[in-house]
Each structure stands twice: as C-alpha cells, then as structure tokens.
Structure 1
C-alpha cells in the first residue's frame, strides 16, 4: 500500500487532495512541510502531497526552498477547489461566536465573513486542527474555519457554509517522490520544474532567462532565494511549460546552463486540466 505524507491533520484540504489523488492509500499526517518531505526522504512515506500556491493567498509552502535541498522530485500536480465552512459545537449559533480559529491562509481567504461577524481570530497550525480544537473546547463562543470534511470528522455543526471570499478559490498541490518519473515527449501538455543558480556576473539572470524568451518557452513561475549566508549569487526555482527534451526547450536550457553555475531538473509531469482551462478562459 502506498503511504502518502502531508502537512496537516485528517480532514484538512491536504488530506482531501491526498484521498482524491491516491484513494485507499495509507495517510501520514505531519506537523510541518519539512516533516512531510523528510518522511519521503527517509522512506517512511512513498510520496508527499504539498500545497504550493493558492489563487487568493499566493504562495503557500516554501517548496522553492525546500525541494532543491530535499533531493525529491515533482511527479504530478493537482488543483483543488477550496471551500471553507464556519463550524462550531452542536447547538451553537453565529451570534454566540466570539473567536474564530484557523490557519493563517484560511483566515486571509475568508476576510468578508470575519469582518461581518467582527470576531477575534486565532491562528492555528492547520484548518482541520482548528476544528479539532473547537470540538475539544466544547465552547459555543469558539468556531473554526475549516473544510467541510472536518465538521464530519470532529462532530461539529456548520454555522455558515461556503464562506470563502472567492467562489473560484483554488489551491495547487504537487506530488513529491524519491524517484524521478520523466514521461516521454508526447502531444500532451507537460510542465517542468527547475532549480538553477546563476553565475555571479553582471546581467547573469537576464542572460540566463533569455533563451526562454527567444525560444518562446512560457515561464509560469519563478522564485528567488539565497543559499546560506553571505553574498552568494541568487538561486531560482522555475516552472516552465513543455518537456525538457522538446527541441525549443532543450535550446533554452542549453543557454540557461551557459550562464548558470548549476542547473537541476526537479520534475517533469503532465499539466493538470485546470491549468489548460484557465488558459482557454
């Protein structure tokens, strides 16, 4: 049986994504993203499902920093529609609520209902954990913003359903594995994740990325960060459309390598249908 690690508790959005992607798998809830990645690296889990971007809140996990150091590979992506319910102990009403608990990203994605209620907020490690805490407290003055599955799991009552600000709220997850799984070049849309460190010379980034522009390769994501202390040249996590063996992508990567001190392909995987729908829309 496949064991899949994720950050959060049962009933969280990460748990839901895991169940959709790998039904019947053995779940390994973790307290942090680092712990989830370490579980795969050490062999405790076969895969990790990690949220990386949210359409409303932006970047979720520092995967651009964690992934290159972990030695893991991206083998898939998945877009999950996000829904949050305001939930409390059975018999509670919104009028009784004084404090709402949830993960910081969930709170930021439900600002309208929080503003309308005038409630105090309390940040928790994850959304499902907030629901568990409210159930343990048994106090109608405390409520949680959590996915619908959390209410069922912890015996809470939905006080208001679907309170996310954006009805199209979506989180993108990536699946991480110890082994790279590079599919062959086909007509199917593909994505490639890359890590590179530019040479410490003037205009290095401009020149390194120039090949993508001249080869008409679409860059969908770029994140920069420093490796260690000091004034070392910046490192970058990049996602591009298409397969690295496709001729125009191979040409762009050749130019990237010329102006970089290190280039690593961190994953080649099918583009999720949601990405294609967004492009058409």
Structure 2
C-alpha cells in the first residue's frame, strides 16, 4: 500500500523548497503520513487549509502539495474539486494511503481507564464498533492529529484520541490499540500537485489524465460529450458533478480517465468532449499508482 507511486518527480535528495511537500493539517495527520510514505526523505510542511497548501507551492515554499480527493468510505473530499481548476497548479501524481486508525492515550492510561474518544467526525464514524464495544463517548475535534495533540497536552487517563501511529510518535502518546477501523478497505486517494506539469517525453506504462469541463446548455450535451470515450475505448474511472457559482444551471464535471492525451484514442475522445463543452481544462497527466493497478487486476 505504501509503495511510492512510479511518478517522475524532483530529485529525492533535494533540499529546501524543492525537497518540501505541503499538506493540510497538523503534524501526524494522515496527509502528513502520506507525504512521508510517497516522498521519503522530504520535509513535510503542515498548512491550516487546502488553499494554504496550494499557496505554499505557488509561492515556492514547497515543491509539491499532497491533497486528499476521495476516500473509499466517506466519498469525495469537499472543496478540493472547487479549488483545483483555479489553483494554478498541475496534478503530477496520485497516492493511495490505507487509513489505519489507532487508539492513542497519555502515559498511564489503559483500555480499562478510557471513557472518551476524541477525533475528527469522519474518523469517529469509522470506528463505531470500537466505541460501542468499549462504551466510549465520542468527542468531535477539528482533525485527528489535533485530537492527539489535545490529549497529549491535557494528560489524564480517561481521554483517548483516534489518530495515526505517526501522531502517537510525534505527541508522545501510547498506542493502546491498532487498526480499530470498522472496514479494512478504508483508503484515501490523494492528488500530488506541482507548479509545473510533468515534462515529456512520456514512455510506455499506465497513465491517468484528470480534467474538468462544462457542457453546453443544450439537450443531451453530457451524453454526446462523453460518447467519444465509449467509441474510442477510453476507460473513465471518475466523474463528479458540482454546481459553479451557486447556479443550479451551471454544472462543472471533474473526471479521471485512463491514458495519456498523446494516445490517439484519448486525443480523439478529448476533441469530441471539447466540441460539446463550453470549457475544458486538463489538470494533469501522471503515472497510475501501483494500488490502482492492483485493484484493476483484482477485478
């Protein structure tokens, strides 16, 4: 799961901004863990928001940003689809991170003393079996790493946090129980963003292309726009719609497809899409992550 994506990227020995990757959250967040797994040896830069992580890349304080886009249980990550088109950044890679929740507590606490579990509401919703079996009260916090930091500062033996093992290491907490998530397939996918797109030449292998588009306001526009992918045999792995500017009549779509725009089949499909669209913007083309390929083979 934690095998780095086979994506061309800056020198692994780079220092400074070129060897720094930004993420949203506090140290020890799952995004921080993803950065360390995908880009070992790089410095990680915690940011208070997705926008701040993107700004860090645009301003040159970080070479890359690791941004979650969807989770196998919770679905798409809010705001990412809205921020991507105007971010000024390019998708240059993807990473899949298995979410392994741990029950963390200060020194001296045991499974018998814990009464409350603190974490992000999504994380709490993914450990319902643990909460029920241990009869723990769920306490909502802003994020998982923040919950761990709070518990470490507060001390005591009755409060625990649901967070990563990395958070335990950073904040000096004990791991009372590992892998407490209800579902073993709990996985988050991330986009890796850069100021510059991947440079060619592009060799053989599995590629993914991400883009956004708006269809013309005519009958069957979406059907006609997507028809080129079917007739050219291009596999679309993601298609999401969302409103633009608060208008119920202006819909934008975010899509991922297999292939590279240099491939004749995908080039023809994109040309047909552009004909029926009022706007089309390719966000990036990047190597498919080994996890994606393994899942494809499993199907």
Query: Within 1, Cα distance between the matches of 2:33 and 2:271?
Result: 39
SS at match of 1:71: coil
- Find out whether 1:11 has 2:15 as its counterpart: no
Q: How many residues align?
A: 281
The 5 A counterparts of 1:81-120 are 81-120=98-137
User: Match of 2:194?
Assistant: 177
TM-superposed deviation, 1:182: 4.5
Which stretches in structure 2 are left out of the alignment for 5+ residues? Answer: 1-14
1:74-223 equivalent positions in 2, closer than 5 A: 74-223=91-240
TM-score by length of 2: 0.89
Tell me how far apart the structure 2 counterparts of residues 110 and 70 of structure 1 sit (CA, whole Å).
34
Structure 1, residues 212-265: CA drift from partner, whole Å, max 9, x if none? 111111111111112213344211110001111101111110110000011111
Superposed CA offset, 1:129-180 (max 9, x none): 1111000111222110111111121111112121111223222111101111
Asked if 1:224 corresponds to 2:245, the answer is no
Do the aligned partners of 1:183 and 1:269 also contact (CA within 8 Å) in 2? no
**Distance change in 2, residues 1:10/1:239 (3 Å):** same
Do structure 1's residue 272 and structure 2's residue 289 form an aligned pair?
A: yes
Taking the aligned partners of 1:168 and 1:228, their CA distance within structure 2 comes to 35
Distance in 1, matches of 2:25 and 2:95, equals: 17
Ranges in structure 1 where 5+ consecutive residues have no aligned partner: none
1:61 Cα shift?
4.5
Q: Distance in 2 between matches of 1:70 and 1:231?
A: 23
- Offset from partner CA, 1:190-211 (integer Å, 9 cap, x none): 0000011111111111111111
Within 2, Cα distance between the matches of 1:164 and 1:229?
36
CA contact (8 A) 1:208 1:260 kept: yes
How many Å separate the matches in 2 of 1:56 and 1:225? 20
- Cα distance in structure 1, aligned partners of 2:76 and 2:157: 33
In the alignment, is the contact (CA less than 8 A) between 1:83 and 1:162 conserved in 2?
A: yes
Q: 2:264 pairs with 215, 228, 247, which one?
A: 247
Contact 1:57 1:108 in 2 (8 A): no
